[in-house]
Amino acid sequence: MKNLLTNWTIILLAITAFGLTACSNDDKDELIPEGYYIEENGIEYELFSLEIKGNTMIWTCTSDGEIENRVEYTYKIEGNKITCVSEYGAETANYSRKGNKITMGEITYIKQ
């Protein structure tokens, strides 16, 4: 009886462990999180927002509440490089993300 109880306990623990480590759709670990950003050393009234849909990014720059520029990009991240393609051409830059900061090229942005 003790052996049977031990086996059931091990099976129950294994099922629980696999069930708790499963990924779900609410786990969002995007490489570029959607939201509002300002340059780390920039002026706060100039900000931009990113809307992310699949591998499409819509970049909107706002100054004093007015939209100054809006560009749609497709992007691809491979390792520490990001390649963005828009109607203006393609550009590749270094990319990294740490907490609420993303760095593209030489500029670091803070998510608000």
The residues spanned by each domain of the chain are: 32-111
* Range 32-111 classified under CATH 3.40.50.720: no
φ, ψ of residue 11 to 5 degrees: the values are -65, -45
3-state DSSP call for residue 87?
Answer: coil
- Give the pLDDT of residue 49: 86
Grade residue 78 by pLDDT with cuts at 50, 70 and 90: very high
Considering the entire predicted model, what is its pTM?
0.63
Q: Is pLDDT above 70 for 21?
A: no
pLDDT computed for residue 23 by the predictor: 47
